[in-house]
Structure 1
Amino acid sequence: MSLADEMFSALMDHSPLSASMLGVPGWEDRLEELSADSERTVRDRLAGILDKAETDTSEDPVTLAVIRQQGRAIVDRIDARLVEHTVATMSAPVNGLLMISSKIDVSQRLGLFPRYIAQAGDRVRDSDRRPLRRHLETGVQRMDAFLAQPVQEWEGGHSDGIRAAVAGFRDVLASVEDGRDDEHAGLCWLPDGERNYANLVRNYTTTSRTPDELHRLGLDVIASLREEYAEIGSRLWGTKDVPEIFRRLRTELLWESEEQMIASAVEAIARAEAEAPKWFGRMPGVGCQVLAVPAQEQRTSAIAFYQPAPADRSRPGTYWLNPLGATERSRTLSEVTAFHEAVPGHHYQFTIAAETELPNMRKYAFIEAYLEGWGLYTERLADEMGLYSSDEQRLGMLGLDAMRASRLVVDTGLHAFGWSRQKAVDYLRDNTVMTEPEIHSEIDRYIETPGQALAYMVGRLEIQRVRAEAEARMGDRFDVRAFHDLVVGSGAVPLSTLDDIVTAWSGAPGRSASSSR
């Protein structure tokens, strides 16, 4: 077995649900082990592979860079013990399990659900890293909501055991009396928090940028976006007043119906597919469908997300839209979200990489600075492609840009600089067009997945940088279709490695692909 295959197997053994979500066969009857002993075993296995990677000469440098990044990322997340204080959002093990179960075939692993849920409860109950009090309350509410629903089709003959385990987990959350208050929301207030956050920042951004540098970067991007808001606002409404533009975006331009929201996404994706051949030389071999999140899942589901096609291509890629509360949400985010999640965003990225001859380690690597950086890059690429139907929709593009830039400020503020939850909420309220429920949902996400929110803007800016440098080097020889084929066809890679790949392609001397920045 090659080192790449060895690491890929170790990662899928650690997270079989990820294999199923990616459509990779072979792990359908397994479920992650959450006990501390099991995580130590996983850590030791990954550390051994990482040791081999330091002296391996059989793999190419790009694949070695991916192996190292992926192994270190899991090791650092295990060391941070996030499972012990992540209970409210979809990042929480039990919440994620219940959400994913309706998206994939879980029939062969249903008997493992009670143990998994019980292990999650054990980790929370026995930990010195307490969740926020409000997150414990949210977790209890989520478990109560699940238990109040009729038995789901996927539960099959295991419903009694699963529901008993969920009830037990609910009781664990309710029994924790010393949850953290909102003034102590970030990792910096927990044991080893500063070290753990530094490791997570490195793994999620795949750069050496410090929290302080990222914080200042976010402030700078927010300032530049205000100029763009003023320009479009003046053209659209005759005002350059950014607070007034924000007010209009929050309170006007709302959907008239759920059906209108779905139809808009379908139309946007169709326009993107028609224009894409001018910007990509390689097209995905499977299409992208748009589906509404089922009614029973809408209260706990994200607003929108993408699910790749399975390896056997038995169904297309799927762009899931949550219609809950559609008539209270701005329609300006419709097109930009479709371009990010579907075409030419994650659908092209996941599908084209899966159709290459790359090893599975490269096809399915989950490097979020690359993955989410590409998604955010395509939001601006869509403007180059002429895909936005109006200035209203371009304001939606700026709205998501502002959210991602604010994440740099807020995530570092919470976890490195000790911000209270309320200070983070206030920052998003002043600098984005998100509604109040969206703001609170986002902040809770940042608290429970420290560092992840940094990946988007860091990745976008890096892809834009390497493209601009390649264009400057190549001049008239630069072909944007070839550039996009190169970036997507290389699979997910660390940003420093992407720099090396593009530098070599564009004809300039560069560092070795295994170097780090």
Structure 2
Amino acid sequence: MTSLADDMFAVAMDREPLFASLVGVPGWDDRLEDLSLDGDQAIRERLADVLRRAETSDEDPVTLAVIRHQAQAITNQIDARLVEHTVAEGLAAPLNKLLTEAPQVAMSQRVGQVPRFVGQVAARVRDSDRRPLRRHVQSTAARLEGFLGSPAQEWEGDSSSDIRTSIAAYRETLLDLGDLRDDDHAGLCWLPDGEQNYLNLVRDYTTTSRTPAELHQLGLDLIAALREEYAEIGSRLWGTRDVLAIFHRLRTELLWDNEEDMVASAVEAIARAEAEAPKWFGRMPKVGCEVKLVGEAERGTAPIAYYMQAPLDGSRPGVYWVNPLGVTERSRTQSETTAFHEGVPGHHYQTTLAAETELPNIRKYASIEAYLEGWGLYSERLADEMGLYSSDEQRLGMLSADAMRAGRLVVDTGLHAFGWSRQKAVDYLRENTVMPEPEIQSEIDRYIEVPGQALAYMVGRIEIQRLRAEAESRMDGRFDVKAFHDLVVGSGPVPLSTLDDLVTAWSGRF
């Protein structure tokens, strides 16, 4: 009989078989997920069984907390029916996710299932009482037109004709949709059951009981506090504490000349981080972190930057993907902070070191965003402690990234809980961050289509910093930062309350 942890992992991978292949877990290379209503119901029933068994399970408490979180979070995602109105965001919209990940995994055993998968996505969108934004339908239709007009890709194999016929039909389904939402009704609160669905997603993504109103205010407070840090560095670098003047210089100066320089800067930053890391971590990953440019066809819908985990067998390194969209309009000051977040000591160390443990797979690969993205954001500030930033210009980039994450608390809750228009969210980021226009537009579309996920970064970062500070105080001179970091990343993704228990128990032993 399989363990509860193994059963939960099997459900999660049946829901995300491409992820299993990306990280090299065998057993799912012949599958694509079933996105029909019946398929969702079958997954939901299995999750309900997992939650029932968890009530009397003898799994260890940490693993049990992860199992419960994952079972409830996937259930809430199914109930929110996001698949029915998520069409544009790169790794959230089902078809865009497939087209992004298919070239990265073995497809030969499942390529024949792609038309079925695409047909299910089309049916869910067509038959739903939830409609996507008009702008997202238009941008996706344009992207798919480009895909259909391009040569067949290697992964399509002999199924290329059927795949492209199904994608053309999906595109027509999108264009035939009536009653599309406009930009004034972008958030979940405008959809049936949207307010409750958002509350559930907020709880799942933050693993806390903070309300949307509390998170909104936290973001406003953090934005205000960051202005003092801008003034301090600005006075040192440019002789001015005028935050608006600093913002202006960051928006109009220090921009990239080309995408080659963008990649070179990321490579150099990661190399410096890898050289310094042994002073801050007791364990080092067995595989490295490579930097790659997002393909031209995916740049319009892919995130600005993201990390793809190395497979278990070490057959390729982890990959930090850099999206050069609007490169000459973007500040080069955020190059290093993003590399530290996505690569080293951020997601690359976090995911690779967890995967190399003997933990159950559900502990290695759980999708717990407050932990995962909290560590990524924590790593940006840790990099400053490590002496990794090459200049005050790059430290301003660190603050710019902080402001973006604080701004996310404001605009995500604004859109989905308080009914903000898309334009109001755009205006807020324009006024309170130094994000370039292409990035603002891309980020707002991401928040619209992945409700609640953007809240995880700052909530998780604040909690990891709090736990470290309390451990340092409790242990006094016995605190070992390397041991703290090994504990946090070596435990795998866990809810923040569970991480609190782990750190408290660890620091209390000394």
1:77 matches 2:87: no
CA shift, 1:45, in A, is: 0.5
Q: 2:326 touches 2:438 (CA, 8 Å); kept in 1? A: no
Output the CA distance in 2 between the equivalents of 1:108 and 1:22. Answer: 17
CA shift, 1:508, in A, is: 7.5
TM-score (normalised: structure 2): 0.98
CA shift, 1:104, in A, is: 2.0
Matched residue SS, 1:289:
strand
Matched residue SS, 1:334:
helix
- The residue number in structure 2 matching 1:343 is 344
CA shift, 1:245, in A, is: 1.3
Question: Higher mean Cα deviation, 329-338 or 382-391?
Answer: 329-338
User: Per-residue displacement from partner, 1:369-424 (whole Å, max 9, x unpaired)?
Assistant: 10000000000000000000000100110111101110101111111111111111
Output the CA distance in 2 between the equivalents of 1:142 and 1:253. Answer: 31
Output the CA distance in 2 between the equivalents of 1:191 and 1:298. Answer: 32
Q: 1:399 touches 1:432 (CA, 8 Å); kept in 2? A: yes
Q: 1:132 touches 1:182 (CA, 8 Å); kept in 2? A: yes
- The residue number in structure 2 matching 1:488 is 489
- The residue number in structure 2 matching 1:208 is 209
Gaps spanning 5+ residues in structure 1: where? Answer: 510-517
Output the CA distance in 1 between the equivalents of 2:205 and 2:367. Answer: 10
- The residue number in structure 2 matching 1:512 is none
- The residue number in structure 2 matching 1:104 is 105
The letter of the residue matching 1:449 is V
Matched residue SS, 1:102:
helix
- The residue number in structure 1 matching 2:409 is 408
User: Per-residue displacement from partner, 1:128-149 (whole Å, max 9, x unpaired)?
Assistant: 0111122221221121121122
CA shift, 1:326, in A, is: 2.6
Question: Higher mean Cα deviation, 299-308 or 435-444?
Answer: 299-308
Output the CA distance in 2 between the equivalents of 1:467 and 1:71. Answer: 29
Matched residue SS, 1:506:
helix
- The residue number in structure 2 matching 1:467 is 468
Output the CA distance in 2 between the equivalents of 1:304 and 1:284. Answer: 21
1:41 matches 2:77: no
User: Per-residue displacement from partner, 1:342-389 (whole Å, max 9, x unpaired)?
Assistant: 100001001100111111110111111100000000000000000000
Q: 1:183 touches 1:419 (CA, 8 Å); kept in 2? A: yes
- The residue number in structure 2 matching 1:117 is 118
Output the CA distance in 1 between the equivalents of 2:329 and 2:438. Answer: 11
- The residue number in structure 1 matching 2:383 is 382
- The residue number in structure 2 matching 1:514 is none
Matched residue SS, 2:55:
helix
Q: 2:331 touches 2:436 (CA, 8 Å); kept in 1? A: no
TM-score (normalised: structure 1): 0.96
- The residue number in structure 1 matching 2:63 is 63
- The residue number in structure 2 matching 1:189 is 190
The 5 Å alignment of 1:7-406 reads 7-56=8-57, 58-90=58-90, 91-406=92-407
Matched residue SS, 2:320:
strand
User: Per-residue displacement from partner, 1:282-318 (whole Å, max 9, x unpaired)?
Assistant: 1111111222223443344322211111111111111
The letter of the residue matching 1:288 is C
Q: 1:69 touches 1:494 (CA, 8 Å); kept in 2? A: yes
Q: 1:19 touches 1:25 (CA, 8 Å); kept in 2? A: yes
User: Per-residue displacement from partner, 1:142-192 (whole Å, max 9, x unpaired)?
Assistant: 211211222112211111111111111100110112011211111111111
User: Per-residue displacement from partner, 1:421-452 (whole Å, max 9, x unpaired)?
Assistant: 11111111111111112111111111111000
Cα distance change of structure 1 residues 156 and 25 upon mapping to structure 2, 3 Å threshold: same
User: Per-residue displacement from partner, 1:223-281 (whole Å, max 9, x unpaired)?
Assistant: 11111111111111122222221121111111222221111111111110111011001
CA shift, 1:340, in A, is: 0.4
Q: Identity of counterpart residues, as a percentage? A: 72
Output the CA distance in 1 between the equivalents of 2:384 and 2:24. Answer: 31
Cα distance change of structure 1 residues 239 and 445 upon mapping to structure 2, 3 Å threshold: same
Cα distance change of structure 1 residues 141 and 349 upon mapping to structure 2, 3 Å threshold: same
The letter of the residue matching 1:61 is P
- The residue number in structure 2 matching 1:515 is none
CA shift, 1:17, in A, is: 1.2
Matched residue SS, 1:107:
coil
The letter of the residue matching 1:66 is V
Q: 1:25 touches 1:311 (CA, 8 Å); kept in 2? A: no
Q: 1:23 touches 1:308 (CA, 8 Å); kept in 2? A: no
Structure 1 vs Structure 2 CA RMSD: 1.3
Output the CA distance in 1 between the equivalents of 2:148 and 2:377. Answer: 37
Output the CA distance in 2 between the equivalents of 1:302 and 1:111. Answer: 28
Output the CA distance in 2 between the equivalents of 1:108 and 1:165. Answer: 18
Output the CA distance in 1 between the equivalents of 2:326 and 2:190. Answer: 35
- The residue number in structure 1 matching 2:436 is 435
CA shift, 1:21, in A, is: 2.3
Output the CA distance in 2 between the equivalents of 1:214 and 1:299. Answer: 29
Q: 2:89 touches 2:96 (CA, 8 Å); kept in 1? A: yes
Q: Which runs of 4+ in 1 moved over 3 A?
A: 294-300
Aligned length: 508
Output the CA distance in 2 between the equivalents of 1:107 and 1:89. Answer: 26
Output the CA distance in 2 between the equivalents of 1:294 and 1:178. Answer: 33
